[in-house]
Amino acid sequence: MNPLLRELQPQLIEIVRNDVVPALGCTEPISLALASAIAAKHLGQKPQRIDAKVSPNLMKNGLGVAVPGTGMVGLPIAAAIGALGGDPDGKLEVLKRITSEQIAAAKQMLADKQVEVGIKETEHILYSEATLYHAENWVRVCIQDNHTNVISIEKNGELIYQNSGRQACTSSNEHDVLATLTAKDLYDFATEIELAEIVFILDAARLNTALSQEGLSQNYGLHIGRTLQKHVGSGLMSDDLLSRIIIQTTAASDARMGGASLPAMSNSGSGNQGIAATMPVVVVADYLKASEEKLTRALFLSHLMAIFIHSKLPKLSALCAVTTASMGSCAGIAWLLTGKFETVSMGICSMIGDISGIICDGAANSCAMKVSTSVSSGYKSVLMAMDNSCVTGNEGIVEHDIDATINNLCAIASRSMQHTDKQVIEIMVSKPKR
């Protein structure tokens, strides 16, 4: 390993440890549930009313997604169950220990119209705020910039906690080091680092495989993975490696978005991104009967590459980030199959030439469709690369260099797609209620 990477080893390991963490449920409504849970702790009484406000992007990702254990979708139930049963210290697993009695009480709050959720006009892409009331007492908790970054707690007009964004800034600063590195640097780091330093990444395989099995066991969400599995049995789909990748990865997303009470191992604040960075690698490693070391390095490469690309994007945007997470698993698969960086580079460039236009129209059961499309593109792109074929720098936004190609994709998401994002949100919030 070159001296620079050796010097940066502690920082790179810490980035992956911080960005690859368990999350129960879609992280945007979970962020609001966490704000409610913390507010309830400081209120010290059962809330009689909840008034919540979220950023437009958080609203987009919270409108249509199931909240684990509740059998309901949306931000109001997230706010209510967070207040009544959430663990204020649970971070992205805030709803891990909710009970049926608490769920019933949360639903009653909604039926009694005691929960309001609106949009907060803010420059911060990720923002959630929960204000809980009991008689004359109230507590307001604000989360900003990342899903668990509490910036303030206010009780009865008195500021009892303030964090001016230190945690968020720290996270940003941690990622600054990635801007000094190339995709090849990350490849070298993942394939050369001492194995003992990265074995923790196997937890991603364990958690997301369990979620995949859950998605194949019953009908969650659109149950895409389970449906495709049935068609393999009927002969309408082949039982090949691509089908296994799509089915097992999509099943995990089905379960997660459909409200399964199992955590996903997330990546960059998203369970679906974690699933997309994990399951294709697990499936290919299993197919190849790869050693635990190979699986470990491939998973670490996948998650690190996914973080690297996502670090160049806004926290939430109109670009569907399971596509960039799947570029991570493309890297992991390419290394498992060929052990060559050239295959990684060609594969990711082909993916950017293929699926760069997929928009994020909010977290919902349909995310599993985007997961299916993205991981399919990743595997196809690796097969093309193995045949020395890829989308070249003569075509579209792809360049002859992988890092320039990644930067082009992320520039589109960071600038021009911001207008797309506003249009998507306008469409979603103006749809008639059914």
Domain at 101, CATH number:
3.30.1330
Inside any domain, residue 143: yes
Which residue reads 């003992």 in tokens?
196
Q: Tell me the backbone φ, ψ of residue 218, rounded to 5 degrees.
A: -155, 170
Nearest to 299 by CA among 231, 216, 378, 201: 201
Q: How many CB atoms lie within 10 A of CB 166?
A: 11
Q: Any residues with CB less than 8 A from the CB of 339 and at least 6 apart, and which?
A: none
Q: Tell me the backbone φ, ψ of residue 161, rounded to 5 degrees.
A: -155, 135
Does residue 158 share a domain with residue 259?
A: no
Does residue 126 share a domain with residue 264?
A: no
Does residue 124 share a domain with residue 256?
A: no
Domain that holds residue 77: 27-168
DSSP structural state of residue 114: -
In angstroms, the CA 195 to CA 296 distance is 8
Q: Any residues with CB less than 8 A from the CB of 258 and at least 6 apart, and which?
A: 66, 215, 219, 220, 221, 222, 223, 365
DSSP code per residue over 315-339: SS-SB-THHHHHHHHHHHHHHHHH-
Four-point Cα dihedral 403, 275, 425, 224, nearest 10: 120
**What's the first-to-final CA gap in the chain, in angstroms?**
58
Query: Is 144:55 a contact under the CB 8 Å cutoff?
Result: no
DSSP structural state of residue 149: -
CA 433 to chain CA mean position, Å: 27
Query: Is 131:118 a contact under the CB 8 Å cutoff?
Result: no
Q: How many CB atoms lie within 10 A of CB 289?
A: 7
Tell which of 168, 194, 221 closes a domain.
168
CATH number, domain at 300? 1.10.4100
| Structural element, H or E, at residue 73 | strand 72-73
Q: Say what the pLDDT of residue 167 is.
A: 47
Measure Cα distances from 213 to 18, 217, 229, 247, 326 in Å.
26, 6, 12, 10, 20
Does residue 186 share a domain with residue 142?
A: no
Does residue 221 share a domain with residue 148?
A: no
pLDDT averaged over 10-residue windows placed end to end, the chain, 434 residues: 94 96 94 98 97 95 90 96 97 95 97 96 94 97 95 96 61 80 98 98 98 96 94 92 97 94 95 97 98 98 98 90 97 98 98 92 89 96 96 94 96 89 87 74
Inside any domain, residue 5: no
pLDDT tens digit sequence for 222-233: 999 999 999 998
Q: Say what the pLDDT of residue 364 is.
A: 86
pTM for this model (two decimals)? 0.93
In angstroms, the CA 391 to CA 363 distance is 30
The beta strand positions in 224-367, using DSSP E, are 264-265
Inside any domain, residue 22: no
Q: Say what the pLDDT of residue 168 is.
A: 44
Query: Is 363:259 a contact under the CB 8 Å cutoff?
Result: no
Inside any domain, residue 221: yes
Inside any domain, residue 19: no
DSSP structural state of residue 96: T
Inside any domain, residue 174: no
Inside any domain, residue 258: yes
Query: Is 241:179 a contact under the CB 8 Å cutoff?
Result: no
Does residue 31 share a domain with residue 77?
A: yes
Tell which of 139, 168, 197 closes a domain.
168
Does residue 223 share a domain with residue 96?
A: no
DSSP code per residue over 204-224: HHHHHHHHHHHHHHS--TT-H
Does residue 198 share a domain with residue 140?
A: no
Does residue 354 share a domain with residue 391?
A: yes
Nearest to 360 by CA among 298, 425, 296: 425
Q: Say what the pLDDT of residue 13 is.
A: 97
Does residue 74 share a domain with residue 201?
A: no
Inside any domain, residue 189: yes
Tell which of 168, 199, 221 closes a domain.
168
Query: Is 316:155 a contact under the CB 8 Å cutoff?
Result: no
Q: Say what the pLDDT of residue 351 is.
A: 97
Instruction: Name beta bridge partners: 53.
Output: 118, 129
Does residue 144 share a domain with residue 190?
A: no
Does residue 189 share a domain with residue 163?
A: no
In angstroms, the CA 430 to CA 434 distance is 12
Query: Is 23:263 a contact under the CB 8 Å cutoff?
Result: yes
Domain total for the chain? 2
